[in-house]
Structure 1
Amino acid sequence: MAYEHLRLDREEPINLRHPRRGGGGFTPQDPRAYGAALGTKFQAARGRITDPDQADIGGYDDRKLIKIQLRHGESLPPDSFQAIPGVEIVSQEEKTVVLAFATDEGLDEFERRLATLARDGNVTRKDLLYAIEDFDHWTPEDRTGNALREQGFPEETPFTLDVELWPQERQDKRQAMVRAFVDLLQELGIKKLDELKLPSLVKLRVRCDQNQADQLLRHRDVRTVDLPPRLGVSVQLLMTDINQFPVVDPPPADAPAIAVLDSGLTSGHPLLAAAAGDAQGYLKPHRSANDAEPWHGTFVGGLALYGDVHNAIQQRQFVPQLRLFSGKVFEHDGQDQTEFVEKAVEEAVRDLHGQYGCKVFNLSYGDLNKVYDGRHVRGLAYTLDRLTRELGVLFVVPAGNLQLNQLPQDARGQYPHYLFEEHARLLDPATALNALTVGGISLFEATRDAQNHPNTIEDHILARANQPFPLTRRGPSINGAIKPDVVEHAGNIALMLTGGRPRHTGLGVVSLNGGFATHGFAFKEDIGTSYAAPLVAHKAARLLAEVPDASPSLLRALIGAHARWPQACEALLNPGNNAEGRDKLLRLVGYGRVDDAALFRSLDHTVTLLAEERVGNDQHHFFELPVPDSFWANGRRTREITVALAYSPEVRTTRLDYRRTKLWFNLVVADSLDDVTRAFQRNREEGMGEHSNGRWLPNDTRKNGTLQVSRWRFKQALANGHKVFVVVTRQDSPWSDGRDGDEPYAVAVVLADREQANAQLYAQVRAALQARAQARARARIGGRG
């Protein structure tokens, strides 16, 4: 069953000030003890490498493959290890994992140096040994690719797999390795479908069963085993005849409105006409919104109106749930625009908001000449921040895209690392703190040619499903604020095998074709975060049907509370679950992709609580969460509490401290509300910090933005019947003149108990809130008496 979200009332405010501190890194205290401990680890790893039950099988020569785990934050070049005779670096799989081929003599030399360090406290090139955390071997789990890990082996056998071997720069070694591996395939009865031999990429496509695949996962020369590309945009889908669809009925007259600020709209498109309202041009001299073929605005408009157009085509049904408005604020013809886009945007927003009550505006725009430099927020971003606060509207904007010519020469080998370079930072207006900024992830994996020739290696895709879009841009915004906020499908890139030219046919986002009248087809595909943004804007606008009075801050809080990191992104960017990996995830995918399973309506096992309040400077607001006893009952299982806070402060571009007002929240566990209010007093904290067990993101990580989200996982009940509280704090910037009064904000809390069979969490939370309201009513009556 699906239910309306529940309202959460706050308790009483109290004054507060709340500082935090951080701390340092690794330095070996006792070199002899360090050498002895590392020597023990090395001997254990060497035992695993030679143990018949664990050791690798095969290999084109007799060297052993050893995994060297570096210490976090270690900057030593991996090739430094080749100073040890008999050791050849194969690959650095992530910042802290180096793979090397080592002869028996090389392994002996490693052991000798560690023994010398343990005995004397000193050794030649001790910096190499100090950089090491541990040793291990490359396991079948390490060789399992992301798609295979998530989906498992196909049920139908035999099945197709892509097997990548370790890259070999020398042609003679590469050829010897491939010959030996092909011989092994024949011995195992595995059919080779195709092969690719390049200095940085050696890959074979094979057909096998699971027993044969298990052998491949233990082979020394295998880097990864994964499923071949799947999914893609077929040309048949793009050529679908819209005359086969039912007639599109107009949305209800009271349906929420969404406005697309773009290059105009082909409002006569058969799938738009019924839902399209006013379409105006806001450029001077004022031209019609339809002067030129507005393919970009129509493409974006289709996604804003329908969300997943690809799915709608497959379902053969288009049902608009929103009213669509359009404001032409830029040209998409490659020509210079003489008028500031900020002026056109402001005029359009004031007009469409005033005339039609539009509260959600999608602006799929990015200024390639304004790559964020880490300093002030200016230009269009500032305009959006200001209008958000003044008018109470929500802007959804893309993170921006790299251009295809900005891909590195070895894009395949450098993905996703090149996305963290300086030139890949956000474009204006993606830095806007009060807007929802959307980055990109990939969904499809098979180009048009790969779909037509499934048994050959036609192209090499850069991203697997749900990994970062290869052209997306990264944050953070000013003062380290998390941006993008969330991510959505933006397409993918493949490199052609001959020449390495990038292409994306079959890998893009599908939407409506603004030029259908002259080009014949109702649909087209394209790539870019410009198309990820309207997918999120669509969800934000649909929320208004369920929560009509929601402020932009509440819409952002709801979106953030229901976002999660895609597993494929976690596996790619944070396989060791460490602080560095977490930082990369936040810079590239923000809080994650929005899961709409319980976004619009609460479910029996997933309950969303909403609150909108106003808080004064140097005040603290308290919320006691209505967590029922059943949430903690019945032993160990995963329960989750997610908290999201959003607000839209006044901003000033002449200050490095861009926000006038700073708000943040803490989740605390205590016996009672009195204990919490006593602990949080002005200028002091009496031993009650934020609950850290099972916490996703700490306060220092999330508090610099105006959308702040964290999640707590509980495996068992809290001790001593403790209760859970959310505490919201305000502290203004030094430049504030104190004239703002109380600052509005929104909180969304999600309680999830998905592992308990027949959970009735919603009914129990609602009953607890009703009982609390009745108790407060009785207290008020008693107070008046």
Structure 2
Amino acid sequence: MEVYDHLPLPEYKGNLQRRKRRGGGYRFPENRQKAEYYEKNISKANEIVRSFKEIKTKFKGKLTPRLIYRIKVNQSVDYKTFQKTLYSLGGLTVLSVSEDKKGYWVVFSNDEELQVFKDKLAQYSGIQEGKKYNFFDAIDGIDDIPKEEKIGDLIKKEPPEPGKVNYFNVELWRMEDEDLYKFISELKNTYDDPRKFRITDQLITKSFALLRVKMTTEIFEELIELKEIARIDRPFYPSFRPYEYNQIDISGFKVLPPDDDAVGILIIDSGITSNHPLLEKSVGGEENFQEVEKETQDVVGHGTAVAGVSIYGDIEKCIVEREFAASNWLFSAKVMYGEKDLRGNIWAVYDEEKLLESQIYDAIRTFLDNPEYKIKAVNLSFGSVNDILKEENNRQFPLAALIDELAQEYSDVVFIVSAGNQHPGNFYELEEIVENYPHYLVENVDFRIINPATSALSLTVGSIASEPRYFNPSFGETEENMWTPIAKKHEPSPFTRSGFGINGMIKPELVHFGGNLILRDNYGHLTENIGGELVLLSNNPTEKLFAFDYGTSFAAPQITHLVGLIANQFPHKSANFIKNLLLQSAEIPLLPRFKGNQNQKLKSTWRVLGYGFPDYEKAIHSFDNRIVLLDEGEIGLNEIKVFTVNLPKTFFETKGRKRISVVLTFNPPTRATRGDSYLGNRMEFKLFHSVHPSEIVEKYAEINLEEVGDETTPAALKKYEIDLVPGTNIRKAGCHQKGWKEYKREPRNLPNPPLTLVLINSNKWISDESYKQPYCVSLIVEHSEKVQLYDMIRTEVQQRVRIR
């Protein structure tokens, strides 16, 4: 089949007016009695002041405590207006905002007696004369942040024992730098015995402030009372399982290094075995970012396995073909080390003295700041099984927030993260697994994605199963009556985790082969058949060149491998561009057997499979009957761009399946404290047919993007809009968006040229009004028949596209 370069997506130029935002009022809550409201909140205010004074007395001469509490907001409010309102209540500074702007807002107050709050509350309630202060309509009340909500899940599962010294992650509310650094400095000097208290590491970014603290249980109980403390938990630990297997002779294999001009891939993991005969020709550099194991060598085995997949893809295919041709140069950052248990098993462990976030921060900067490495992909195949994204009141995890900040800064590098694993045997017997698969993946909250898979700017990768197979059944057994494969080929792996992500964004976005579970019940104990696992590289090549394992840990580097291949073709393109091509090439290979109506089934599918399984050839090439049109550029806040292409009528008139697909990728600033919108700006797209783009421009000039809310299609254009799936509100939650329309038969009302794509950029909290958002948008038209579309569209585009 003939292959072609992708085509530019022509932009239609038109003037769009921007209107200034108008302020809105507040709704008075039903059944509110102002006198009762006053008494309740005066009592709460006095309680907050009393508890704060106790803390000041307790830490007098050591710490200068800050008054931090929370305000419950009962309706969606304009952030900028409400932020100013809160500041008028005694200089309240917003530290954290709830989702949808409703719920708990965390604030820092300069008014330690809450006197201004009390006075204005009294005037609002009619207790004393004065102004109305109707903003109280939006406030249900104020409250101290309960100590229980600051304690992490690991501590709740395993409370610290009296007299013991443990390591903890202590997250602070992200105050202004001056207050934050002063507090940390004072905290370091509060306890003078380093055997009982010591801050061993810290990391402060735009979104969070995190400390690694070694302290006694008694000091832990004191610190949890401090209002500056947002959360304390035991340190992060990895969720994967190294598993080695038998040796294969590779003496006759062809092992080829990457091309000299190939770009680099960075693996952040347990290190690599750089002298492995299948890796040694591809290693561009390796460094150690933990201090327990001094060598860079991979003791655990996980990093070597991940590295092998990232540069070779399908290891088993390489074995069959007897050729290992590395796609990219390999770089390794070691952030974990191996530790043996009493049985001699080796487990991955993190340096107790250092924050994992600090190690990753140092590792990424060290490698990505070196231009000679030409690194275009960073793979992180680990996650914290205890940091599960909850359905409500979720807040971005520090590690995921860090990755997003770095991904925004290093805008030419694609970050890839595994979705995480959860074994159904932890919850169900074999019959229950078979009966409840795949429904438990979306119904059981313990299968939700984990930190750092919630990262918005990374590509999060889930796992699908390959063809079921059985390994070495015992004599007299048959595969059919002894082993039960849980998933069919291309169905979700029975252990993969599901979304949605922060603010409902589609996560994971992509899937790849990560293995299956093939089980049998052995007297009440689940036994796994190794045939469900993938072939990987072993970290002990002198004993065993290959290992077997399964997990999203190994699906993620399959995507990293594809990113590396695409980046070799487009080495100077941005991460937005590379991710766009990858997402545009993806398709859901098989609809899982989910319950419910069609909409419910589709929603469950997107939660588990995202946009599907990508294809390298489709990512880098256009074909006669499948044409990719792209535009990469920048767009201002609260602005739109319009693109148009005159699709030939033969596209619809020729019988066969037709598909139109749009992908948008962008890299907005993020902020973990903004639960209402983790992304600083939201982008979306709308697709229209049979209407001239000038009319679309005219209608969009009449609306104010800051005021329209969820519906951004002007009423007059509704009948021309092509309804894409997933719907707009699901798509626009994230910064990796895809929508498509399939015509399986001739449309009753045949769409007419042109196709017009509208790109919309709405500001959420970015203060710099001159900010320009980089993006990449692509439009695909595809026909199942051998229709010669490419030349027709290329000719039309070349006549209209503006030379840049």
Write the distance in 1 (CA, Å) between the matches of 2:592 and 2:447: 21
TM-score by length of 2: 0.65
Equivalent residue, structure 1, for 2:335: 329
Please give the secondary structure, in 1, of the residue aligned with 2:558: helix
Please give the secondary structure, in 2, of the residue aligned with 1:603: coil
Q: CA deviation at 1:7?
A: 2.5
Write the distance in 1 (CA, Å) between the matches of 2:533 and 2:718: 46
2:334 equivalent to 1:314: no
Equivalent residue, structure 1, for 2:607: 587
Equivalent residue, structure 2, for 1:386: 405
Equivalent residue, structure 1, for 2:753: 722
Write the distance in 1 (CA, Å) between the matches of 2:688 and 2:503: 26
Pick aligned residue for 1:752 from 757, 765, 782? 782
Write the distance in 1 (CA, Å) between the matches of 2:329 and 2:474: 36
2:549 equivalent to 1:526: yes
Q: Give the residue type in structure 1 aligned to 2:248.
A: T
Please give the secondary structure, in 1, of the residue aligned with 2:684: strand
Write the distance in 2 (CA, Å) between the matches of 1:631 and 1:388: 39
Alpha-carbon displacement from aligned partner over 1:523-551 (angstroms, at most 9, x marks no partner): 22101100000001111121112222221
Pick aligned residue for 2:536 from 511, 515, 526? 511
For residues 271-282 of structure 1, what are the structure 2 equivalents within 5 Å?
A: 271-282=278-289
Equivalent residue, structure 2, for 1:46: none
Alpha-carbon displacement from aligned partner over 1:65-96 (angstroms, at most 9, x marks no partner): xxxxxxxxxxxxxxxxxxxxxxxxxxxxxxxx
For residues 110-189 of structure 1, what are the structure 2 equivalents within 5 Å?
A: none
Equivalent residue, structure 2, for 1:240: 248
Q: CA deviation at 1:614?
A: 0.6
Cα 1:451–1:592 shift into 2, 3 Å: farther
Q: Give the residue type in structure 2 aligned to 1:259.
A: L
Pick aligned residue for 1:370 from 383, 387, 392? 387
Equivalent residue, structure 2, for 1:708: 737
Contact 1:666/1:690 (<8 A) preserved: no
- With 737-746 and 463-472 compared, the bigger mean Cα shift is at 737-746
Cα 1:466–1:490 shift into 2, 3 Å: same
2:428 equivalent to 1:408: yes
Cα 1:15–1:593 shift into 2, 3 Å: farther
Equivalent residue, structure 2, for 1:70: none
Q: CA deviation at 1:572?
A: 1.0
Q: CA deviation at 1:674?
A: 0.8
Pick aligned residue for 1:558 from 566, 570, 581? 581
For residues 341-740 of structure 1, what are the structure 2 equivalents within 5 Å?
A: 341-355=356-370, 356-374=373-391, 375-392=394-411, 393-403=413-423, 405-409=425-429, 410-420=432-442, 421-450=444-473, 454=478, 456-499=480-523, 500-517=525-542, 519=543, 521-567=544-590, 570-573=591-594, 578-634=598-654, 636-656=655-675, 657-683=677-703, 685-689=714-718, 695-714=724-743, 715-716=745-746, 719=750, 721-733=752-764, 735-739=765-769
Contact 1:262/1:330 (<8 A) preserved: yes
Write the distance in 1 (CA, Å) between the matches of 2:358 and 2:720: 46
Q: Give the residue type in structure 1 aligned to 2:779.
A: V
Gaps of 5+ in 1: 18-234, 781-785
Q: CA deviation at 1:465?
A: 1.2
Write the distance in 1 (CA, Å) between the matches of 2:761 and 2:716: 20
Cα 1:670–1:400 shift into 2, 3 Å: same
Q: CA deviation at 1:571?
A: 4.4
For residues 194-209 of structure 1, what are the structure 2 equivalents within 5 Å?
A: none
Q: Give the residue type in structure 1 aligned to 2:755.
A: V
Q: Give the residue type in structure 1 aligned to 2:369.
A: G
Cα 1:512–1:753 shift into 2, 3 Å: same
Alpha-carbon displacement from aligned partner over 1:490-531 (angstroms, at most 9, x marks no partner): 1111221433514140111222111122x2x32221011000
Contact 1:399/1:474 (<8 A) preserved: yes
Q: Give the residue type in structure 2 aligned to 1:507.
A: G
Write the distance in 1 (CA, Å) between the matches of 2:800 and 2:606: 37
Write the distance in 2 (CA, Å) between the matches of 1:690 and 1:263: 55
Write the distance in 2 (CA, Å) between the matches of 1:554 and 1:616: 19
Equivalent residue, structure 2, for 1:200: none
Q: CA deviation at 1:10?
A: 2.0
2:743 equivalent to 1:743: no
Write the distance in 1 (CA, Å) between the matches of 2:247 and 2:792: 50
Cα 1:770–1:531 shift into 2, 3 Å: same
Write the distance in 1 (CA, Å) between the matches of 2:457 and 2:563: 14
Q: CA deviation at 1:672?
A: 1.5
Write the distance in 1 (CA, Å) between the matches of 2:439 and 2:467: 21
Equivalent residue, structure 1, for 2:261: 254
For residues 207-226 of structure 1, what are the structure 2 equivalents within 5 Å?
A: none
Contact 2:585/2:616 (<8 A) preserved: yes
Q: CA deviation at 1:322?
A: 1.2
Contact 1:15/1:620 (<8 A) preserved: no
Pick aligned residue for 2:308 from 302, 311, 330? 302
Contact 1:4/1:546 (<8 A) preserved: no
Q: CA deviation at 1:771?
A: 1.9
Q: CA deviation at 1:251?
A: 1.6
Please give the secondary structure, in 2, of the residue aligned with 1:689: helix
Write the distance in 2 (CA, Å) between the matches of 1:299 and 1:16: 53
Contact 1:493/1:502 (<8 A) preserved: no
Contact 2:464/2:492 (<8 A) preserved: yes
Please give the secondary structure, in 1, of the residue aligned with 2:434: helix
Write the distance in 1 (CA, Å) between the matches of 2:560 and 2:280: 20
Write the distance in 1 (CA, Å) between the matches of 2:719 and 2:514: 36
Cα 1:407–1:16 shift into 2, 3 Å: farther
Cα 1:455–1:501 shift into 2, 3 Å: closer
Q: CA deviation at 1:342?
A: 1.2
Percent identical: 28
Write the distance in 2 (CA, Å) between the matches of 1:387 and 1:495: 41
Contact 2:637/2:770 (<8 A) preserved: no
Q: CA deviation at 1:561?
A: 1.3
Cα 1:279–1:371 shift into 2, 3 Å: same
Cα 1:721–1:584 shift into 2, 3 Å: closer
Q: CA deviation at 1:321?
A: 2.1
Write the distance in 1 (CA, Å) between the matches of 2:719 and 2:311: 41
Write the distance in 2 (CA, Å) between the matches of 1:458 and 1:428: 37
Contact 1:449/1:458 (<8 A) preserved: no
TM-align CA RMSD = 2.6
Contact 2:492/2:592 (<8 A) preserved: no
Please give the secondary structure, in 1, of the residue aligned with 2:251: helix
Write the distance in 2 (CA, Å) between the matches of 1:245 and 1:321: 16
Contact 1:397/1:437 (<8 A) preserved: yes
Write the distance in 2 (CA, Å) between the matches of 1:630 and 1:472: 42
Q: CA deviation at 1:412?
A: 2.0
Q: Give the residue type in structure 1 aligned to 2:366.
A: D
Q: CA deviation at 1:310?
A: 1.4
